[in-house]
Amino acid sequence: MSDGHLRFQLSYGDCDTVGIAYFAIYYPWMERAYSTWLYSHGLRSGELAEQLGFITVGVHSECTYRAMVRVFDELAVRLVLDRVGSSSYTVGFDFLRDDEVVTHGSMTFVCRTLEGGKATVPDALMTILRTLPSVGGAAA
């Protein structure tokens, strides 16, 4: 993910019986891209409590399908910052075939204290989030 893109090629296991990408395949790729991106910045999503003293909780996710994707298509996932607030943020995932965004997904996370209370986005995470390109004027 050195260029900020995670690349993969669809196989039959990613598609329905007529070879069109099954809608749910994007969610594991979003998680993989997010975890890999955090890791590239020295963080492990499952170890944030130990590393920075807070946790994140995924509270919302969605995908918008813009173009048909078929078996053996090659896609790249580009992370973007859809939104950032004081205690939550939304990471966007542009799935690209060549330069065309064929699907846009997003995952919204809230920050919590180790006891489960509301927490602000820590400075260390905010700095990393701001390395993502903003989409549609996201407050960064």
In a domain, 134, yes or no: no
pLDDT tens for each residue of 64-122: 999 999 999 999 999 999 999 999 999 999 999 999 999 999 999 999 999 999 999 99
Domain that holds residue 66: 5-129
Arithmetic mean of pLDDT over the chain: 92
CATH number assigned to the domain comprising residue 67:
3.10.129.10
In a domain, 99, yes or no: yes
In a domain, 117, yes or no: yes
Closest to 95 measured CA to CA, from 18, 35, 10 = 10
In a domain, 136, yes or no: no
The pLDDT of residue 140 is 46
In a domain, 140, yes or no: no
- Which whole number is the average pLDDT over 43-68? 94
The pLDDT of residue 5 is 83
Distance from chain centroid for Cα 40: 14
Model confidence at 59: pLDDT above 80: yes
In a domain, 53, yes or no: yes
- Which whole number is the average pLDDT over 27-38? 95
In a domain, 116, yes or no: yes
In a domain, 57, yes or no: yes
Distance between CA 87 and CA 41 in Å, rounded?
A: 20
| pLDDT band for position 139 (cuts 50, 70, 90) | very low
Calculate what percentage of the chain has a pLDDT beyond 70: 94
